[in-house]
Amino acid sequence: MNPKLKNAIEWAYCILIAIIIALAVKYFIGTPTVVKQTSMNDTLNEGQRLWLNRWVRTVNGEYKVGDIITFEAPSETIVPLSRINFDYPVAIYENEKEGLIEKFVYYVLERKKTSYIKRVIGVAGDHIKIENGKVYRNGNELQEDYVKEGAVTDGKIFSDIIVPENCVFVMGDNREHSTDSRDFGCIPISKIESKVAFRFWPLNKFGKIE
């Protein structure tokens, strides 16, 4: 074999292996991201950079109240009255991909995929009730120091529900400017992409996020 051709093939092979490893790390272990939404202000602001823990998804780990997670956006962010099911208040997902290539592009490369970042307020079996501008979990008012002082949590479509099995109830910290489980229902754990591990930019805010 021509030495130049052999060298080119070896380089191509190395590059391919590097790409596969990078994609595997991104999908199964963790990846950086940039905050692009305002629904988590003032906890998270636009332009800040986070490290996402995807290992928790890989090993089917648990999510607890207070965790900040990212998840695939529902198909219906505002549920039409004709499709509301209070007996099973779970977000609607109708954008399942077919075919190996389409799934790879959507779920691994994450092209044309919209993700949300919110805080877990309730887990399976919890009774979540929003009343008089406050949030109650199993009858106890949540002490939400992460919400801006004076902010009011408005009740929307899903404001008095029991969180179904294998689901979580999420809300943004910027309650007055957040589309969340109050609008579209609970998020299936299978649609959760990651848990926010820590913030690494700006440097003066480096560290774990509460």
Residue 100 lies in a domain: yes
Residue 17 lies in a domain: no
Residues 6+ apart with CB under 8 A from 162: 125, 126, 127, 128
Residue 1 lies in a domain: no
CB-based burial label for 174 (10 Å; 0-12, 13-18, 19+): buried
pLDDT over threshold 90, residue 163: yes
Full domain range(s) for residue 92? 30-205
* φ, ψ dihedrals at 184, nearest 5°: -115, 0
Give the C-alpha separation, 175 to 158, whole Å: 14
Residue 117 lies in a domain: yes
From its phi and psi, is residue 23 left (phi > 0), alpha (psi between -120 and 50) or beta? alpha
Residue 22 lies in a domain: no
Please give the pLDDT value at position 97: 87
Please give the pLDDT value at position 175: 95
Residue 119 lies in a domain: yes
pLDDT per residue over 89-128, tens digit each?
999 999 888 889 999 999 999 998 999 999 999 999 999 9
Residue 129 lies in a domain: yes
Residue 9 lies in a domain: no
CATH of the domain at 120: 2.10.109.10
pLDDT per residue over 4-60, tens digit each?
777 888 899 999 999 999 999 999 999 999 999 999 999 999 999 999 999 999 999
